[in-house]
């Protein structure tokens, strides 16, 4: 069974939304609530409203002085956002594709992430960087899932939602957080699913995982675009008599290890699934922590499923680099039999 997001605060009725609509709602409410919230990015103002239409209508409602189109210059986008944050604003900077954030790594890693520390806590940098992954129809330079790079950087929080409700709640929490937040969206989730989402203020706390499906035999830990496939695999395995517990971590920094460890302590078997490269990916840290904390009680070593260590193939090539539901089914079957 699936569940609604935990840690949520709704102040109005619910409405059915796609992930894109839920993100738009979060930004709209943030702009309305705080005049210091600004949006920066390429083509985000109307009439375009963003490449994926997430910011559609926001410049019309709140003005082009607050929803600002920028040149194609990621260094300038993040540099401006950092400067605005130090001046008391809460900028939300959009980097159109995750791959392009590499152009502005210095601003994000060496400046935004460090100012609070270097100033003895006097100068937080409350910026949110929205970015998109998963557009493999453009191939290797528009599809990389690079979240592990930023998990490795102290001072940056990292969120990667899998549902519309969590997308709205996590984005709102990021916008009003005092530290830099990297908010990752998967293009495949923008319009592929709908659910009831609070129309008013809605927050999901960073660092709180949710159990999407309860089970007793094997724990599967995942997040983002892999979650629908993982839940589908769990349904199939349930029909075979294998009880799978599915945990959506939702944010990677901070990461809710207590929820993960409590589940694995009970099932004694774990699979970690993500779309980032398996080698040195987020699953390596999760698996290592599970092993360090629960080594004596594990029935089997933790299994990691991630992208192959190759550049992301062009979609039309027919090549497959990402783990698919059948891979999850096979991994769980092996663990359940051990």
Residues classed as catalytic: 142
Q: For residue 183, how far is the Cα from the chain centroid?
A: 6
Indicate the pairing of strand 157-159 with strand 128-133.
unpaired
The CA distance from 273 to 328, in Å, is: 8
The CA distance from 183 to 167, in Å, is: 9
The CA distance from 90 to 85, in Å, is: 6
Task: Please name which of 190, 169, 185 lies closest in space to residue 25, comparing C-alpha atoms.
Answer: 169
Q: List, in order, residues 6 or more apart from 39 with CB less than 8 Å away.
A: 27, 31, 55, 58, 66, 67, 68, 91, 92, 93, 94
């Amino acid at each position: 069974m699936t569940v609604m997001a935990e840690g949520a605060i709704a102040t109005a009725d619910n409405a059915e939304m796609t992930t894109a609509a839920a993100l738009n709602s979060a930004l709209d409410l943030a702009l309305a609530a705080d005049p210091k919230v600004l949006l920066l990015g390429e083509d985000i103002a109307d009439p375009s409203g963003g490449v994926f239409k997430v910011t559609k209508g926001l410049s019309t409602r709140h003005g082009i002085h607050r929803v600002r189109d920028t040149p194609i210059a990621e260094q300038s986008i993040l540099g401006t956002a950092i400067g605005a944050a130090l001046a008391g604003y809460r900028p939300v900077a959009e980097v159109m594709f995750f791959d392009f954030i590499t152009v502005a790594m210095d601003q994000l890693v060496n400046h935004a992430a460090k100012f609070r520390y270097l100033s003895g806590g006097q100068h937080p940098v409350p910026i949110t960087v929205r970015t998109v992954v998963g557009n493999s129809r453009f191939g290797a330079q528009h599809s990389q899932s690079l979240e592990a790079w930023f998990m490795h950087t102290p001072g940056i929080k990292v969120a990667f939602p899998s549902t519309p409700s969590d997308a709205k709640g996590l984005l709102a929490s990021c916008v009003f957080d005092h530290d830099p937040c990297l908010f990752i969206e998967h293009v495949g989730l923008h319009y592929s699913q709908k659910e009831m989402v609070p129309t008013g203020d809605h927050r999901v706390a960073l660092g709180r995982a949710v159990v999407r499906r309860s089970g007793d035999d094997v724990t599967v830990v995942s997040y983002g675009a892999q979650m629908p496939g993982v839940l589908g695999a769990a349904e199939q395995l349930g029909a075979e008599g294998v009880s799978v517990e599915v945990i959506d971590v939702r944010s990677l920094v901070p990461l809710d290890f207590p929820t993960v460890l409590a589940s694995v302590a009970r099932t004694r078997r774990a699979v970690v699934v993500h779309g980032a490269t398996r080698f040195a990916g987020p699953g390596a840290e999760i698996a290592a922590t599970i092993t360090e904390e629960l080594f004596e009680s594990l029935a089997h070593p933790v299994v990691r499923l991630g992208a192959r260590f190759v550049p992301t193939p062009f979609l039309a090539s027919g090549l497959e680099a990402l783990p698919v539901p059948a891979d999850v089914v096979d991994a769980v079957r092996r663990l359940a039999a051990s």
